[in-house]
Amino acid sequence: MRATPPHAVAAPRVSRWSALRAWAGRVLARSRRSKWRLATIALGLTAALVWGIPYARAWQHYRAARAEVERCHTAQAIRHLRLCRETWPRDPEVMLLAARSARRAGVYGDTERLLAMYQQERGRDAAVTLEQLLLDAECRQDRVVEQCWKHVEEGRPEAPLLLEALTRGYLRQYRLGMARRCLDRWQQVQPDSPQMFYLEGLFHLDYAHAVSAAVTSYGRAVELDADHEEARLGLAVALLTSREFAKAAEHFERLRQAQPENARVRVGLAECRDSLGDTAEAVRLVDEVLAVQPELPAALSLRGRLAFKTDQVAEAETWLREALRRNPMDHTACYTLVLCLEKTNQADAARKQREQLQQMENDSARFNEVVTKEIAQRPGDPLLHCELGRLLLRAGQREQGVRWLQSALQIDPNCAPARQALADLARQR
């Protein structure tokens, strides 16, 4: 038997099982550390992904909005920009696109505000200078008209944008001859521009009251660009006006798929359905609109006419009176209300309503005469501006009426009829 060396410690006896268990413990410990490391990385990636998703979506909507603005697709651009601005409310590029879209939609207050916000971020650079010029061409034309036409004659790249803005500005002033001149020049510059044909359709339908020509212009715009929703809506309305109900319904139905919340589209489709013999569907559609927008004049008017058609005379009278309260120039609602009153033997009320109907027709005829003939012959006549203002006020178009009365006073600060009309308006408030 060998003796143990002095000061030496005997090595413990380790079984194979103990060694295996020790090895497993070391592996498990390393594994746990790796798992924590992987879990931390995964958590970080998840957080980055969650944080980044809104920005990725905003970027997608920004790119889509920019493309839609370039194609003059105002409705689509606004939808994308609304979502984009939820993430980037003060991004300069987004604000600039939103300003152009708001101007094209006629929301000039928003345009002014967005351009001011842009300048706070970027200053007055070339981009905002152009947008301000386009806004002035529509709203303050006298200040910039010479500059705009100079740029057009020089053949600058922004000439089509300037001609578009000038057209809108002249239409706002009912200077139809100058608007026509802009459209003709624009067609020379861009003979296949869907936006040009869209505005030409607007010119024919809303200002010259040439429905057949409007159908042609709007139709050409849609032919060139099937995704131009404003042009398709104009075409649908023009077809409805010309009583081509089946064709109009096709366009309204397509628009309803793209713009499910657009009440004007639903009311137009309801009118088509009624004219095509499906009154029940028309009632359903217009009731859906009124459930969301109970004060919409067009929906109130159509609901009243549908009620009268189905012998619900008392209900029809209620709908129609409310429609006329909100839109005093609704000729169809006024005429149908006369029929309601006569059917219920309200002779005096029917007579008064007929007098209002006659006044409406007289005002409409006079208004058309002024804007299609006289304003071009006497654009600086303050009395003519004042008369337009009074006619617009009687039609319930307060903002435009006031603008024309103020225009009369800018031409002649001593224009007594304009001063009196504004004073009367102030007392009514």
The domain boundary, picked from 364, 386, 411, lies at 364
Please count the structural domains in the chain. 2
pLDDT digits (tens, 9 = 90+) for 105-150: 999 999 999 999 999 999 999 999 999 999 999 999 889 999 999 9
Same domain, 352 and 388: no
Higher pLDDT residue, 100 or 35? 100
**406 by DSSP, 3-state: which?**
helix
Same domain, 341 and 384: no
In a domain, 357, yes or no: yes
How is residue 274 written in tokens?
A: 């009624």
Q: Which residue matches tokens 């706070």?
A: 120
Q: Which residue matches tokens 């060694």?
A: 19
Per-state percent for the chain, helix, strand, coil, to nearest 5: 80, 0, 20
Cβ(128)–Cβ(115) below 8 Å:
yes
- Residue 61 CB coordination number (10 Å): 21
Alpha-carbon distance values, 343 to 37, 122, 339, 415 (Å): 84, 65, 6, 46
What residues contact 211, with CB distance under 8 A and at least 6 apart?
Answer: 204, 205, 238, 241, 242
Mean predicted confidence (pLDDT) in 270-280 = 97
Cβ(353)–Cβ(386) below 8 Å:
no
% pLDDT > 90, the chain: 77
Look at residue 24 and tell me whether its pLDDT is greater than 60.
Answer: no
Round to whole Å and give the CA distance between 343 and 323. 19
pLDDT digits (tens, 9 = 90+) for 192-233: 999 999 999 999 999 999 999 999 999 999 999 999 999 999
In a domain, 80, yes or no: no
Same domain, 322 and 346: yes
Look at residue 36 and tell me whether its pLDDT is greater than 80.
Answer: no
The domain that holds 324 is classified in CATH as: 1.25.40.10
Cβ(286)–Cβ(265) below 8 Å:
no
Q: According to the model, what pLDDT value does residue 224 have?
A: 98
Mean predicted confidence (pLDDT) in 235-258 = 97
Same domain, 308 and 359: yes
Alpha-carbon distance values, 331 to 123, 131, 273, 323, 363 (Å): 49, 38, 21, 11, 11
Q: According to the model, what pLDDT value does residue 245 have?
A: 98
Round to whole Å and give the CA distance between 298 and 371. 25
Range of the domain at 353: 295-364
% pLDDT > 70, the chain: 87
In a domain, 309, yes or no: yes
The domain boundary, picked from 310, 335, 364, lies at 364
In a domain, 417, yes or no: yes
Give residue 9's pLDDT band: very low, low, confident or very high (50, 70, 90): very low
The domain boundary, picked from 317, 339, 364, lies at 364
Average pLDDT, the chain: 89
Rg for the chain, CA atoms, rounded = 33
- Residue 96 CB coordination number (10 Å): 23
Give residue 243's pLDDT band: very low, low, confident or very high (50, 70, 90): very high
pLDDT digits (tens, 9 = 90+) for 276-325: 999 999 999 999 999 999 999 999 999 999 999 999 999 999 999 999 99
In a domain, 248, yes or no: no
Q: According to the model, what pLDDT value does residue 26 have?
A: 58
In a domain, 237, yes or no: no
In a domain, 326, yes or no: yes
Same domain, 382 and 359: no
**106 by DSSP, 3-state: which?**
coil
Look at residue 6 and tell me whether its pLDDT is greater than 50.
Answer: no
pLDDT digits (tens, 9 = 90+) for 141-162: 889 999 999 999 999 999 999 9
Look at residue 11 and tell me whether its pLDDT is greater than 90.
Answer: no
In a domain, 345, yes or no: yes
What residues contact 10, with CB distance under 8 A and at least 6 apart?
Answer: 4
Round to whole Å and give the CA distance between 424 and 347. 32
Round to whole Å and give the CA distance between 22 and 289. 76
Mean predicted confidence (pLDDT) in 359-374 = 90
- Residue 258 CB coordination number (10 Å): 14
Cβ(58)–Cβ(88) below 8 Å:
yes
Q: Which residue matches tokens 């309200």?
A: 346
Closest C-alpha among 348, 271, 355 to residue 305:
271
pLDDT digits (tens, 9 = 90+) for 159-169: 999 999 999 99
